[in-house]
Chains A and B, each alone.
Chain A
Amino acid sequence: RKEVEQDPGPFNVPEGATVAFNCTYSNSASQSFFWYRQDCRKEPKLLMSVYSSGNEDGRFTAQLNRASQYISLLIRDSKLSDSATYLCVVNGEAGTALIFGKGTTLSVSS
């Protein structure tokens, strides 16, 4: 049973495009949701938390759908610097035990 699933991609988009990633999770009791960004096997860095009402940070919008158990990340006006792997992260059964998705790779080209 895969607890957190993401489309691995790669998503290849031109600069300026809008791109969306989805992530599904299996544990209906999960309470915390995050998107992390990881560059070239460097350490993951928190991109944004995902709140029930949805939230926006500049060109990035995250949404949570508890009924369907998925979260999404929308990137508007893609930049070359957005090229990275985006990790969906959900808290697991043990509360603070985080479950990471395998990541979705985004490549933005000029």
Chain B
Amino acid sequence: EAQVTQNPRYLITVTGKKLTVTCSQNMNHEYMSWYRQDPGLGLRQIYYSMNVEVTDKGDVPEGYKVSRKEKRNFPLILESPSPNQTSLYFCASSRSGPPLHFGNGTRLTVT
């Protein structure tokens, strides 16, 4: 089954404790992207990657890092999470551009 898999689905952590949210796709897609969704603000792009070893900042990259060492994986790293990073996160992929296939989401709470 073609899918984008994110883990974990839910995460509660404390300020400053490094965490990684994993994203994996099995469709051999070149393009992958991370979004956060907050009430009243809609979906905002954090980082995207056009292919292996190619990553670019989206609209809200501050406080996040990504890597693309393999085509299928695109982890999102929060080196020092803060409460304003409490949000619903989505990973998405596509062959070369839209449309996007989204993962199920990761609900992160930073206290």
Interface centre among A41, A87, A97, A103 (most CB of B within 10 A): A97
Does A106 make an interface contact (CB < 8 A)?
A: no
Tier of interface size on chain A: 20 to 34
Residue of A43, A95, A103 with most partner-chain B CB within 10 A: A43
- In angstroms, Cα B88 to Cα A103, docked, is 16
- A sample of 6 inter-chain contacts (CB < 8 A) reads A32-B97, A34-B99, A43-B104, A96-B96, A97-B45, A102-B40
Determine chain A's interface SS by DSSP, over half rule.
Answer: loop
Considering residues A46, A89, A95, A96, which has the most beta carbons from chain B within 10 angstroms of its beta carbon?
A96
Residues in chain B within 8 A of chain A (CB atoms): 31, 33, 35, 37, 40-45, 48, 50, 56, 58, 88, 90, 96-105
* Chain A positions 15 through 44: 1 when the CB is less than 8 Å from some CB of chain B, otherwise 0: 000000000000000001010000001111
Contact present for A98 and B105 (CB under 8 Å): no
- Nearest B residue to A41 via CB reads B88
With A34-B99, A44-B90, A46-B100 given, is the CB distance from A98 to B45 under 8 Å? yes
Taking a contact as CB atoms under 8 Å apart, the answer to whether A97 and B99 are in contact is no
A42 & B42 in contact (Cβ 8 Å cutoff)? no
Cross-interface CB contact of B42 among A41, A45, A96, A100, cutoff 8 Å: A100
Q: Tell me, in angstroms, the Cα distance from A46 to B94 when the chains sit together.
A: 12
Bound together, the chains give a CA A82 to CA B7 distance in angstroms of 29
Q: Does A91 count as interface, using CB distance less than 8 angstroms?
A: yes
C-alpha spacing A45/B43, complex, angstroms: 13
Q: How far is the CA of A54 from the CA of B33 in the complex (A)?
A: 28
Q: Which residues of A contact B45 (CB under 8 A)?
A: 97-98
A91–B45 CA distance with the chains assembled, in angstroms? 12
Contact between B102 and A96 (Cβ–Cβ < 8 Å)? Answer: no
Query: A36-66: which residues lie under 8 A (CB-CB) from chain B?
Result: 41-46, 49
Once A32-B97, A97-B58 are accepted as A-B contacts, the answer to whether A87 and B43 lie under 8 Å apart by CB is yes
